[in-house]
Amino acid sequence: MKRLIFAAGSCLLWAGLLMIQSCSSAPEKPSAYVVEIKDMKFVPEDITVKKGDTITFINRDMMAHDVTEETAKSWSSGKMEADVSWKLVVSEAATYYCSIHTVMKGKIELE
Amino acid sequence: MKKKTNFIPIILASLLGLSFPSFAQNSKLTDPEIASIAVTANQVDIDQAAVALKLSKNPDVIHFAETMANDHKAVIGQAVALVTKLKVTPKDNAVSKKLTADATKTIADLKKKSGKAFDKAYVDNEVAYHKAVIGVVEGTLIPATANSELKDLLQKVVPALKAHLEHAEMIQKSLTK
């Protein structure tokens, strides 16, 4: 009887542990970040995110900007007029720039 | 070959009191005059960009000129919207008149050049012009502006002028290689 109770208790304990483990290993929901384009800068200039997270770029300047991947030009927002925003789902680390104002640069790093 | 001097930055700086203190001391700029100077200074760069777009074959210079035209048009758009809202009528003054007159002369000089000589003259002028304008906007126009919204607009323009200067200097370096 004692053995039966011990076995049942052990099973419950393992089941509980498995449940906790399955909860803790559930995929995290992607996070949302904002990068403002203001005073001819990307703010923040350097952002660290996870793969799948979303960055919304918002143009707060009076002149148009864009957000363009710098190395291979693999992605670009296209021309963003004042107050226009653009979302990027991050798939890899990147350096980017404004192809209109080439002195404006930013960086996306992965955790 | 005699090197021509571009007088716009010198005149812009000097008329606002950097070399002609008597002018600055005897006439305090008003907001309508400051608005006129701001619009004129932007228009000068748009007009010079138009010449570059006609005469340059250099992709970097063309791209820079397009940026100058678009950015300064955006600034004028904001300035016009603001003065309309504030019911301020930009008032022509000695500085804005001189800016216009000298821009006409600079454009005439630029039109006499072509090829690499044009590119160099245009970019050198842009570097000098932006340096002078930044100095005057920060040192004279912003402190002299009474209306807070007009002051804010001028302050917002400074980072763009500095980015333009950095961009122009970058091209200037590439042209001398």
Distance CA A97, CA A85 (A): 16
Check whether A23 has a pLDDT greater than 70.
no
Residue B72: its H or E element: helix B59-86
For residue B53, give both structure tokens.
Answer: 């777009």
* CB-based contact B108:B132 (threshold 8 Å): no
Give Cα separations from B5 to A80, B102, B110, B113 (angstroms): 38, 12, 12, 14
Residue A10: its H or E element: helix A2-24
Q: Any idea what DSSP says for residue B138?
A: I
Of B160, B167, B170, which is closest to A63 when you measure between CB atoms?
Answer: B160
Distance CA A34, CA A50 (A): 14
**Residue written as token pair 């400074």:** B158
Please give the order of strands across the beta sheet that includes A46-49. A46-49, A105-110, A94-97, A68-69
A101 to B75: CB separation less than 8 angstroms, yes or no:
no
pLDDT tens figures, A38-89: 999 999 999 999 999 999 999 999 999 999 999 999 999 999 999 999 999 9
| Contacts with B156 from chain A: Cβ below 8 Å | 39, 61-62
Of A41, A82, A100, which is closest to B67 when you measure between CB atoms?
Answer: A100
pLDDT score recorded for residue B29? 93
pLDDT tens figures, A77-91: 999 999 999 999 999
Q: Tell me the average pLDDT across B66-70.
A: 98
Close Cβ partners of B80 (under 8 Å, ≥ 6 residues apart): B39
A63 to B71: CB separation less than 8 angstroms, yes or no:
yes
- One-letter amino acid of B169: E
Give yes or no for a cis peptide into B59 (omega within 30° of 0). no
What percent of chain B is predicted at pLDDT more than 90? 82
Distance CA B95, CA B44 (A): 13
What percent of chain B is predicted at pLDDT more than 70? 85
Close Cβ partners of B103 (under 8 Å, ≥ 6 residues apart): B8, B44, B47, B48
A63 to B75: CB separation less than 8 angstroms, yes or no:
yes
Q: Any idea what DSSP says for residue A51?
A: T
| Contacts with A104 from chain B: Cβ below 8 Å | 163
From B60's Cα to the closest Cα of chain A, the distance in A is 11
Q: Tell me the average pLDDT across B127-154.
A: 95
Window A:37-96, CB contacts with B under 8 Å:
39-41, 61-64, 82
Strands A94-97 and A105-110 come out as antiparallel
Q: Does A19 touch chain B (CB under 8 A)?
A: no
Relative orientation angle of helices B115-136 and B148-175, to the nearest 10 degrees: 150
From the list B147, B37, B45, the residue with the least C-alpha distance to B87 is B147
* CB-based contact B164:B71 (threshold 8 Å): yes
Model confidence band, residue B47 (pLDDT cutoffs 50, 70, 90)? very high
Burial class (CB in 10 A: 0-12, 13-18, 19+), B177: exposed
B67 to A101: CB separation less than 8 angstroms, yes or no:
yes
